[in-house]
C-alpha cells in the first residue's frame, strides 16, 4: 500500500448547534477513488469543503503527503494539489471556457499582461484531451451543456496537475452519454495516479468507479469498506440505518 495522499484525522465542524462533521477520519491513496455516501445533510459536502479551504476545521487535522496541512483558503488547498468540483459546478457563467479554466490563475506575458494566446492554446489542448468534440470554448459557459461544463471543471484538475480531486455529485445533472464521459474521465485521472473523493448518491457510480466507500450519517462516519467487499443492499442499509456492516471487516489504515 502506498503512503496516503491525504489523511483526515478526527476532524470536526459545527455550524452553531449543528454538528455537520463529527470526529471523521479518512485516508485517500494515489490512484484511488473513494466514494463518500450518505443522506442529504450527512456532512459530505462540509467535509470536502474543509479540504477545499472553503470552511476552516474546528478541530482535528489534515495531513497531505504526511505533513500537517494548513488549509485556510481555496488558494492554500490548490497549492497543495487539491482541486475541487463543487456540487453547484461553480463556474463563472458569463465567462467562456478558457477564462474559467484559468480563473484566478491566469497566464501572464513577461510584461505582466494576460497571455490570451497561450491560455487559449493550452485550454484547447486540455479540453481536446478530455473531449475531442468540445469546440465552443469561446462562448459564455452558461450556454454549454452539463457535460461540457463538467469538462471545463475537470480540465482544471488536469491542467494544474491535481494530486487530489474532489468531485461533489459530478453526474447528478447529466444524461447517460455525459455520465459515461465523466466516468471515462475519472478512470483516466485515476490511471494517472490522481486520488479522487467522489461524493455521490448513485449506486452505479459507486460500484462502477470506486475502490473504497465511506458512509456518513448525521456528521459521523458509519463505516469505510472496500467496494468489492460489500453489496449494494448493504450499502443502502448503512446509509439508511447508520450501522456498519457486521458481515465484513472495515477497511483499516496501515
Ligand atoms: N454554511 C452552513 N451554515 C450552516 N449550516 C450548514 C452550512 N453548511 C452545511 N450546514 C449544515 O450541515 C449539515 C451537513 O450539510 P452538508 O451540506 O455537508 O450535507 P451533505 O451530506 O453534503 O448533503 P447533500 O447530499 O444534500 O448535499 C446539514 O445539517 C446542513 O444544514
Ligand atoms: Mg452536499
User: Ligand 1 pocket, 49 CB below 6 A?
Assistant: no
Mean pLDDT of 221-233: 96
Counting residues of the chain whose pLDDT is more than 70, the rounded percentage is 97
Give per-residue pLDDT as tens, 25-56. Answer: 999 999 999 999 999 999 999 999 999 999 99
pLDDT digits 0-9 by tens, 183-216: 888 998 999 999 999 999 999 999 999 999 999 9
Residues whose Cβ atom is located within 5 A of ion ligand 2: 45
pLDDT of residue 88: 64
Q: What confidence tier does 179 reach under pLDDT thresholds 50, 70, 90? A: confident
Tens digit of pLDDT for each residue in 51-106?
999 999 999 999 999 999 999 999 999 999 999 887 666 788 899 999 999 998 99
In this prediction, residue 175 carries a pLDDT of: 80
Whether 242 is in the pocket of ligand 1, judged by its Cβ within 6 Å, is no
Phi-psi region of 10 (alpha: psi -120 to 50; beta: other; left: phi over 0): left
Hey, which of 46, 88, 172, 198 would you mutate to test ligand 1's pocket, going by the most ligand atoms within 8 Å of its Cβ? Answer: 46
CA-closest residue to ligand 1 atom 24: 40
Q: How remote is the CA of residue 40 from the centroid of ligand 2, in Å? A: 7
Residue from 12, 43, 206 whose mutation best tests the ligand 1 pocket (most atoms within 8 A of CB): 43
Q: How far is the CA of 107 from the centre of ligand 2 (A)?
A: 32
Average the pLDDT over 107-114 and give the result: 95
Domain ranges of the chain: 6-18+29-91+161-241
pLDDT score, position 1: 56
- The CATH code belonging to domain 6-18+29-91+161-241 is 3.40.50.300
Average pLDDT over residues 155-183: 86
Residue 152, pLDDT above cutoff 80: yes
Q: Please name the residue whose Cα sits nearest to atom 27 of ligand 1.
A: 40
Q: pLDDT-derived band of residue 111, with 50, 70 and 90 as boundaries? A: very high
Model pLDDT, residue 156? 87
Q: How far is the CA of 43 from the centre of ligand 2 (A)?
A: 7
Q: Which ligand 1 atom minimizes the distance to the CA of 43?
A: 18
Question: What local confidence, expressed as pLDDT, does residue 250 receive?
Answer: 80
Does the CB atom of residue 56 touch ligand 1 within 6 A? no
Give the Cα separation of 238 and 215 in Å (integer): 7
Q: Is 45 in the pocket of ligand 1 (CB under 6 A)?
A: yes
Residue 174 banded pLDDT, cuts 50, 70, 90: confident
Amino acid at each position: 500500500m502506498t503512503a496516503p495522499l491525504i489523511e483526515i484525522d478526527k476532524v470536526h465542524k459545527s455550524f452553531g448547534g449543528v454538528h455537520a462533521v463529527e470526529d471523521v477520519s479518512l485516508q485517500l491513496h494515489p490512484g484511488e477513488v473513494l466514494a463518500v455516501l450518505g443522506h442529504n445533510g450527512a456532512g459530505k459536502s462540509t467535509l470536502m469543503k474543509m479540504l477545499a479551504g472553503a470552511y476552516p476545521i474546528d478541530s482535528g487535522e489534515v495531513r497531505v503527503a504526511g505533513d500537517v496541512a494548513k488549509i485556510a483558503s481555496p488558494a492554500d488547498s490548490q497549492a497543495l494539489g487539491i482541486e475541487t468540483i463543487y456540487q453547484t459546478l461553480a463556474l463563472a457563467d458569463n465567462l467562456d471556457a478558457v477564462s474559467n479554466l484559468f480563473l484566478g490563475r491566469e497566464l501572464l506575458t513577461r510584461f505582466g499582461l494576460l497571455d490570451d494566446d497561450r491560455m487559449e492554446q493550452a485550454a484547447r489542448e486540455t479540453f481536446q484531451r478530455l473531449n475531442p468534440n468540445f469546440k465552443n470554448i469561446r462562448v459564455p459557459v452558461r450556454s454549454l451543456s452539463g457535460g461540457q461544463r463538467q469538462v471545463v471543471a475537470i480540465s482544471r484538475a488536469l491542467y494544474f496537475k491535481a494530486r487530489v480531486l474532489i468531485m461533489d455529485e459530478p453526474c447528478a445533472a447529466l444524461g447517460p452519454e455525459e455520465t459515461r464521459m465523466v466516468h471515462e474521465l475519472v478512470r483516466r485521472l485515476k490511471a494517472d495516479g490522481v486520488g479522487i473523493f467522489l461524493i455521490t448518491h448513485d449506486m452505479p457510480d459507486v460500484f462502477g468507479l470506486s475502490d473504497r466507500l465511506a458512509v456518513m450519517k448525521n456528521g459521523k462516519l458509519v463505516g469505510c469498506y472496500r467496494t468489492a467487499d460489500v453489496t449494494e443492499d448493504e450499502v443502502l442499509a448503512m446509509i439508511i440505518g447508520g450501522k456498519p456492516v457486521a458481515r465484513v471487516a472495515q477497511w483499516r489504515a496501515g
